[in-house]
Amino acid sequence: MESNQVFLFHENDDLEIGINPNDEFEFSIVLKFLTDDSGGSKISSIIDGKNIILSCVNFADKGTGLNTPVRIVSVNDKEWFLCSGHI
């Protein structure tokens, strides 16, 4: 991902990124892109086994993002946050 870009060919495709920081620990981040009628953008997260699933709601428009950090997960008492855009 040197280009810092990923293209999905269908609006409802998921993006899964496998992360293996060492031989003893691995997980995947799964981005699900959803739409609803609320008009607002939001991100929520759940953990399912070794998958961190981020549901990104109403992110279809170019340049869509959030201006506040989103808590993703806590690992070994350390909080992980997703930050995008200008904070």
**pTM greater than 0.95 (yes/no):** no
Q: Can you tell me the distance from the alpha carbon of 31 to that of 82, in angstroms, rounded to the nearest whole number?
A: 12
Render each residue's pLDDT in the chain as its tens digit; 87 residues. 566 677 888 878 899 989 887 777 788 989 998 999 988 888 888 989 999 999 989 887 777 777 788 787 777 888 878 776 544
Q: With contact defined as beta carbons under 8 Å apart, do 46 and 29 qualify?
A: no
Name the CA radius of gyration of the chain, rounded.
Answer: 14
Q: Name 39's Cβ contacts closer than 8 Å, sequence gap at least 6.
A: 58
Query: Would you state the torsion angle of the CA atoms of residues 74, 75, 79, 83, taken in this order, to the nearest 10 degrees?
Result: -90
What are the residue boundaries of the structural domains of the chain, listed by start?
A: 15-82
